[in-house]
Amino acid sequence: MKKVLVRFNDINVAHGWAQDYEVGMDDIAHCEAMGFLFAEDTESITLIMARSDLGYMFERMVIPKGWVESIKEMRLK
């Protein structure tokens, strides 16, 4: 599985983020997420943080392709 860094935009920035500051609902957050590229189709990509040999997944994130600015494959050492 490829390890990738995904840069994307998120329009719903007030949900799930630390709210130590005031955020307008029209604000756009420029985000970065790193994970394993689990699935990809014409509409979205799916990242996971971890996967076991038993098939368990941890922290699955689905990002619509229209939000994605870039995907960069990372090297594993």
Question: So what's the pLDDT on residue 72?
Answer: 97
Residue 35 domain-assigned (yes or no): yes
Over residues 25-68, the pLDDT tens digits come to: 567 788 999 999 999 999 999 999 998 888 888 889 999 999 99
Report residue 10's pLDDT band, with 50, 70 and 90 as the boundaries: confident
Looking at the structure of the chain, the number of domains it has is: 1
CA 4 from centre of chain: 10
For 12, the domain range is 3-16+25-72
Residue 9 domain-assigned (yes or no): yes
Q: Whole-prediction pTM value?
A: 0.76
Question: So what's the pLDDT on residue 48?
Answer: 95
11 vs 39: which has the higher pLDDT = 39
Residue 60 domain-assigned (yes or no): yes
Specify the CATH number for the domain of residue 34.
2.30.30
Residue 46 domain-assigned (yes or no): yes
What whole-number distance in Å separates Cα of residue 47 and Cα of residue 57?
10
Residue 77 domain-assigned (yes or no): no
